[in-house]
Structures are given as structure tokens and as C-alpha cells.
């Protein structure tokens, strides 16, 4: 099973009392390998990560990984109830980041679905930001 899909991603990031919302509508590929679902799409200049491919890996009802490949790399695992260490590649080098999820809601099937996750990022246990991500995956009727 491999499907062309339409993806709507809304992200809300809060830091230092300020909140920023971004929304992305894009096309991508949705597939299942083993028990895991995957959504991949090409990043663009709009996201600030042109030349990168983002993969969302859904590993069950409580765990989603965001994996970016290309000119800028990152790997963050959002797992409800756990603090994971991820990495984020910057111009200055690789940065280790703590990822603590307070919510992960997965409503996904072979036809697509919705993801929601809420998590905080920290560096050396100092809070960097609170984040919420909403993802809607639908089969592309034009493919």
C-alpha cells in the first residue's frame, strides 16, 4: 500500500510568552511498513527547510517520530509519558534536545487519518518551547 496524499499540517509553538502558528498544505506519500505508518513530503522554502524530506513515522497509538533528511537533519521522537533525546542539526553543529510529550493522539488507518501531538523541547533541561502539531492525511483525488 502506497498512496499519494494531501497533507495539512498546523503547528503551534509557544516560547517566552509568545505563540506562533504555521500551517502547511502539501502533497506527499502515505504507506504502511510492518505495523508502522509513514507520511513523507518534500519541504519547501515556505517551511525554511528547502531541499529536505520530512517523514512522520507513526509507531502505535502513543509514539510518533519526525525525521528530516537533506540539507538540514533532525530526528525527534514524541512518545506520550516519556522524555526522549533527539537531535537537531544546525549550522553550528548537532544539538541534542530533550523531547517530552504530554499528548499523542493517533487516529489513522490504511485510508489516512489524523495525528495530534503536544510536546516540549528542552536543552540541558531548560525549556525551549511548547509545541502542538495537528496533521490531517487524505488520499489525493487527483492521483
Residue 21 has pLDDT above 80, yes or no: yes
47 has pLDDT over 80? no
Q: Reply yes or no on whether the pLDDT at 34 is more than 90.
A: yes
Least confidently predicted of 7-21, 83-97, 98-112: 83-97
Who wins on pLDDT, 33 or 91?
33
| Cell 525551549, located at residue | 128
**Secondary structure (H, E, C), 61-100:** CCEEEEEEEECCCEEEEEEECCEEEEEEEECCEEEEEEEE
Rounded Cα distance between 141 and 84, Å, is 37
Instruction: Find residue 123's DSSP bridge partners.
Output: 126
Give SS3 for 59. coil
Secondary structure letter of residue 60 according to DSSP: S
Residue 91: what pLDDT? Answer: 67
Helix (H) or strand (E) holding 109: strand 93-109
The H or E element that residue 20 is part of is strand 18-33
Q: Is the pLDDT of residue 94 over 90?
A: no
Please indicate whether residue 43 or residue 10 has the higher confidence score (pLDDT): 10
C-alpha cell at 137: 492525511
8 A C-beta contact, residue 106 and residue 78: no
Q: Judge whether 8 and 24 are in contact, CB under 8 Å.
A: yes
Contact between 3 and 31 (Cβ < 8 Å): yes
Q: Which of the listed ranges 4-8, 67-71, 88-92 does the model predict with the highest average pLDDT?
A: 4-8
For residue range 4-16, list pLDDT tens digits in order: 999 999 999 999 8
Interior/surface letters 3-38, b for 16+ CB within 10 angstroms, e for the rest: bebbbebeebbeeeeeeeeeebebebbbeeeeeebb
Amino acid at each position: 500500500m502506497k498512496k499519494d496524499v494531501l497533507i495539512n499540517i498546523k503547528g503551534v509553538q509557544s516560547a517566552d510568552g509568545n505563540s506562533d502558528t504555521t500551517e502547511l498544505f502539501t502533497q506527499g506519500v502515505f504507506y504502511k511498513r510492518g505495523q508502522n505508518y509513514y507520511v513523507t513530503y518534500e519541504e519547501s522554502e515556505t517551511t525554511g527547510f528547502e531541499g529536505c524530506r520530512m517523514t512522520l513515522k507513526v509507531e502505535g497509538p502513543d509514539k510518533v517520530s519526525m525525521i528530516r533528511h537533506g540539507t538540514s537533519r533532525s530526528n525527534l521522537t514524541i512518545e506520550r509519558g516519556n522524555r526522549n533525546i533527539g537531535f537537531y542539526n544546525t549550522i553550528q553543529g548537532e544539538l541534542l534536545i530533550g523531547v517530552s510529550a504530554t499528548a499523542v493522539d493517533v487516529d489513522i488507518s490504511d485510508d489516512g487519518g489524523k495525528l495530534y501531538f503536544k510536546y516540549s523541547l528542552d536543552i540541558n533541561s531548560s525549556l525551549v518551547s511548547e509545541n502542538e502539531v495537528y496533521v490531517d492525511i487524505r488520499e489525493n483525488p487527483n492521483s
